[in-house]
Amino acid sequence: MADSRATEILEMHTRMQNQREHFEKVWQDIAERAAPRKAEFGRRNAAQVVKGKQRTERMFDATPSLALDRFASAFHSLVTPRNQQWHKLKAVDDDLNDNTEVQRYLDEVNSRLFAARYAANFDNQVHECYYDAGAFGNMGLFIGDRPGRGMLYRTIPVDQLFFAENDYGAVDLVHRYWWMPARAAAQRWGDRLPAHIKHAAERTPEAEYPFLHCVKPRADMDVRRMDYRGMEFASYYVAVDSRDILDEGGFRVFPYAVGRYAVTSGEIYGRSPLMTVLPDVKMLNEIERTTIQAAQLAVLPPMLAHRDGVLDAIRLTPAAINYGGVDDQGRQLLQPMKFGENLPVSIEMADQKRRTIQDALWNTLFQILVDNPAMTATEAMLRAQEKGALLAPTASRTESEFLNPMVARELQILEDAGQLPPRPEAL
């Protein structure tokens, strides 16, 4: 019999799916033209997506895809550069920040946090988040705890990520909907799995089944309890097919960091730079497709022949001999069909679209110093300040909405593991 809590969670998930339906259509357009390696949106059945399938059929120009890769790298080096400590911890009470013992404690905590973070798989996972932000405007990162082995980071692809805000505009409810092979599910949940998945784990272990992870504020929190019922956030793993709760737990600090590139008033999901220039991306593809057709017609034009021609078939291979191609006077009986040659115009239009796309994805902004190697130190500093002013709003949103919750979760994990130094008396 289905669990009533699972039924309630899945009904909520259906509403969340409907809420982002229109976004998914736009994201699918972007994925097909600029991010083909991303999973298809709106997937409701494991058989709907063929793994390893070529997904570049609708791409006629690689510029958007290459520009998106560079955007992710630029975002990464701007916000979370690996070669430096990109944040420092401070006390909420400003007076305590002048205390020498507090300063030393926070510096030590900061160092341990960076060491633990980069000892895990943070760098590669957060890079994928920035890729999603550029393509789809949303990014999700799960910060998990592996007792005895340290922290674990997992990028949540946008097609799996559903979320909602609280009354302060902060994300405090996340659903992750994904498909897992029966074998992996059995390793994780064992006998708690429904019978049909346990059976599949033995007979067809590669068969995939849908699961859902729900994390939301706990309505019945009891602060007197020391177990998960006394934690601020409730956690449920649900087997979607059978509507069973496989695991119930909790978190003291929200385990998902959800970031958005830009948010339109009245909307929950973010919008990306690629969404802004999607018309240019589509136009670039159409221009390239037309240019390819024009080039093919120019190189291999249709042939015009006299109605009474004696040719049975025209051979266009190199060094081919077409008997009957001339008359008794040596006049050519075959002529290529001529078309208006406007390739330079289409090439110029395509270049304009490429520059617009690259500009939207910051490529031209970060190319300035490369294009001007003879720039003086003063000029370089002014350029850097100008670049910082242009990128500050995006960096600020990422810091407050994505990185701050992530750091809070990391500190809680390290504190639980006893990996933080003793707090000074002032704290």
Q: Provide DSSP, 125-190.
A: HHHHHHHHHHHHSEEEEEEEEETTTEEEEEEE-GGGEEEEE-TTS-EEEEEEEEEEEHHHHHHHHG
Residue 108 backbone phi and psi in degrees, to 5: -70, -45
Average pLDDT, the chain: 87
CA distance 68 to 30: 11
pLDDT of 330: 72
Q: Assign 252 a pLDDT band (cuts: 50, 70, 90).
A: very high
Could you tell me the pTM of the whole model?
A: 0.86
What is the pLDDT averaged over residues 84-100?
91
pLDDT of 131: 97
Residue 339 scores a pLDDT above 70? no
CB 143 within 8 A of CB 416: no
Tokens of 221: 């929190």
User: Regarding predicted confidence, which is higher, 363 or 186?
Assistant: 186
Secondary-structure percent of the chain, ordered helix, strand, coil, rounded to 5: 50, 15, 35
Most confident by average pLDDT, 50-54, 142-146, 370-374:
142-146
Residue 215 backbone phi and psi in degrees, to 5: -125, 125
Angle at 307 between CA 306 and CA 309, to 5 degrees: 65
Comparing CA positions, the residue from 40, 84, 152 lying closest to residue 417 is 152
Comparing CA positions, the residue from 260, 267, 14, 21 lying closest to residue 141 is 260
Ramachandran quadrant class, 81 (left: phi over 0; alpha: psi -120 to 50; beta: rest): beta
CA distance 396 to 242: 43
pLDDT of 408: 96
Query: Domain locations in the chain?
Result: 4-269+394-416
Lowest mean pLDDT among 125-139, 185-199, 318-332: 318-332
pLDDT of 368: 62
Tokens of 135: 């393509």
Q: Which amino acid, residue 29?
A: D
User: Regarding predicted confidence, which is higher, 345 or 166?
Assistant: 166
Handedness of CA 324, 329, 330, 334 (dihedral sign): negative
